[in-house]
Amino acid sequence: MTNLTHLTITEARRRLAKGEITAVELTRAHTEAMAAKRGLNAFITETPDLALEQAALSDARRAKGEAGSLEGIPLGIKDLFCTEGVRTTAASRILDGFTPPYESTVTANLKRAGAVSLGKLNLDEFAMGSANITSHFGPVENPWKSKSDPAKKLVPGGSSGGSAAAVAARIAMGATGTDTGGSIRQPASFCGIVGIKPTYGRCSRWGIVAFASSLDQAGPMARTVEDCALLLGAMAGHDPLDSTSAPLPVPDFAAALTGDIRGLKVGIPKEYRPDGLSDEVARIWDLGIEWLKDAGATPVEISLPYTKYALPTYYIVAPAECSSNLARYDGVRYGLRVEGKTLDEMYKKTRAAGFGAEVRRRILIGTYVLSAGYYDAYYAKAQKVRRLIADDFNNAFKSVDVILTPTAPSAAFGIGDNTDDPVTMWLNDVFTIPTSLAGLPGLSLPAGLSADGLPLGLQLIGRPFDEETVFRVAGVMEKAAAFTAAPACVAPTQARRESAGEAGEGV
């Protein structure tokens, strides 16, 4: 019998439908993997008993002929989504003891589709970070190891680091992530999986702990493009509870994977090839361009001239919104309270003890840029530059259908590296932040391995609400990349398409 944790969602759905496996069997294989790989620290809260209960109910629904689109599929949920009756932490001490009395729209949609939840996945505190090292519950370890130093613990990327690690380590078949400046795409790249941040408004933000409301967007992470398409189809949809959720029908994203991209124009932005871009990343990008040409698409050089201002724009807009959103954590209504003699003292002590260093820093920066006398110089200025960045993309999409870039400037680095200065860590998101500021869909897929044996991802960016073209191109690239490598902790002989002889090639 094949190892059930190695199946894709697509294959598991087929076997479940044919009655070859049950949801309980599939879920038990994953709860066992979750226990066996606890060392990765991918989960903050494991709910194996609940998962098996849900799986049994799923089997019963299937027996009655009421199977949903993700019936019986075990998933992990980033611990930023509120889940009714299951502790939700946002990886912060300040939500100590918080158990939501309601369910986020996205996770409710997944439940309705029949999915089983294995538990709540680790992340950077309040989704602020690019290495999953700011979690109050400790860092997540990337299941991948470098060839040169196999003992070294690497970061899974962030903020959706637990999601990426769990999917790569075959603990979960897929996971939810959220992406504010690259938090789905960069960890997907670091862990060798697929992840898509859909267009802003495609998924409801209701019940997701807020970080920067004009940027936050939920999306799926899985091991194949088709699996991501299936997951997004279940997660997305209009929700009256989120006024920014788009009142648009949800297309059949998986049906967009036609394999035919002939005649498509693919933008290659010259600003994404700065001096000092690593040779490996440049090479894999060139390889991606070749795959698209081979499939009949036409690469077109484009210019996105305001790209270099995206990072400073983001680090005004996101902290400003964060300082406003996180004002709600006051020790009164939920979470941690540290007593003080006065109400103000209680607020200050609670927030000092409850927030970690990176979150405190961003709140302070946000407070400063929004304060009287500085608002125009910083926040209003950033909002104007944000429009120029979005206009760059609008102009580009007049002549191209999709844009191809690297996802991140490097492969995964060591836990503890890049921490000398906050700005160094932020540079990880240099290729993903512009897309976020423009609200566009962006997908990362694994394209190959670095010389050191670590995954490198490529990013596809689409027009607003045109995830279908992104998926269609991603499907073609996935086939060309034939990325079959898996982390060493995943037994290669048991994996689908993952026999040792087919392991991914270095670039």
Residues 342-361 that bind other proteins (CB under 8 A): 342-349, 351-352, 355, 360-361
**Looking at 11, 32, 330, 417, which residue binds other proteins (CB under 8 A)?**
330
Cβ atoms within 10 Å of 376's Cβ, excluding its own: 8
Helix axes 357-370, 310-325, angle to 10 degrees: 100
Per the CB < 8 A criterion, the answer to whether 133 and 139 are in contact is yes
Written as six digits, the tokens of 231 are: 């997951």
**Looking at 45, 367, 469, 494, which residue binds other proteins (CB under 8 A)?**
367
Site membership for other proteins, residue 201 (CB under 8 A): yes
Site membership for other proteins, residue 274 (CB under 8 A): no
Residues 439-468 that bind other proteins (CB under 8 A): 439, 464
Rounded Cα distance between 195 and 227, Å, is: 10
| Residues found in the chain | 507
Per the CB < 8 A criterion, the answer to whether 38 and 6 are in contact is no
Q: Least CB distance from residue 421 to other proteins, whole Å?
A: 7
* Nearer of residues 441 and 504 to other proteins, judged by Cβ: 441
Site membership for other proteins, residue 409 (CB under 8 A): no
Among the listed residues 37, 58, 78, 163, the single catalytic one is 78
**Looking at 244, 278, 298, 469, which residue binds other proteins (CB under 8 A)?**
244
* Nearer of residues 125 and 280 to other proteins, judged by Cβ: 125
**Closest-CA residue to 120 (of 103, 145, 142):** 103
**Looking at 29, 34, 316, 490, which residue binds other proteins (CB under 8 A)?**
316
Residues 283-312 that bind other proteins (CB under 8 A): 306, 308-309, 311-312
Residue 247 identity (one-letter amino acid): P
Written as six digits, the tokens of 26 are: 């599939």
Residues 6+ apart with CB under 8 A from 328: none
**117 catalytically annotated:** no
**Looking at 35, 39, 99, 395, which residue binds other proteins (CB under 8 A)?**
99
Binding span for other proteins by CB under 8 A among 3-11, 111-119, 239-247, 264-272: 239-247
Residues 6+ apart with CB under 8 A from 196: 184, 185, 219, 220, 228, 232, 441, 442, 443, 444, 467, 470, 471
**Looking at 387, 409, 469, 496, which residue binds other proteins (CB under 8 A)?**
387
Residues 420-439 that bind other proteins (CB under 8 A): 421-423, 437-439
Written as six digits, the tokens of 218 are: 């939920």
* Nearer of residues 298 and 367 to other proteins, judged by Cβ: 367
Site membership for other proteins, residue 323 (CB under 8 A): yes
Per the CB < 8 A criterion, the answer to whether 227 and 9 are in contact is yes
Rounded Cα distance between 460 and 469, Å, is: 10
Residues 474-503 that bind other proteins (CB under 8 A): none
**Looking at 190, 272, 291, 315, which residue binds other proteins (CB under 8 A)?**
315
**Closest-CA residue to 455 (of 223, 173, 111, 199):** 223
Rounded Cα distance between 204 and 412, Å, is: 30
Residue 5 identity (one-letter amino acid): T
Binding span for other proteins by CB under 8 A among 138-146, 158-166, 188-196, 341-349: 341-349
**Looking at 50, 57, 385, 507, which residue binds other proteins (CB under 8 A)?**
385
Per the CB < 8 A criterion, the answer to whether 190 and 455 are in contact is yes
Per the CB < 8 A criterion, the answer to whether 2 and 30 are in contact is no
Q: Least CB distance from residue 49 to other proteins, whole Å?
A: 22
Q: Least CB distance from residue 441 to other proteins, whole Å?
A: 12
**Looking at 247, 249, 259, 501, which residue binds other proteins (CB under 8 A)?**
247
Q: Least CB distance from residue 398 to other proteins, whole Å?
A: 16
**DSSP per-residue codes, 58-86:** HHHHHHTT---TTTT-EEEEETTB-BTTB
Rounded Cα distance between 149 and 145, Å, is: 7
Among the listed residues 58, 104, 146, 183, the single catalytic one is 183
Site membership for other proteins, residue 50 (CB under 8 A): no
Site membership for other proteins, residue 282 (CB under 8 A): no
Among the listed residues 159, 204, 323, 410, the single catalytic one is 159
Site membership for other proteins, residue 331 (CB under 8 A): yes
**245 catalytically annotated:** no
Rounded Cα distance between 157 and 164, Å, is: 8
**159 catalytically annotated:** yes
Active-site residues, by number, are: 78, 159, 183
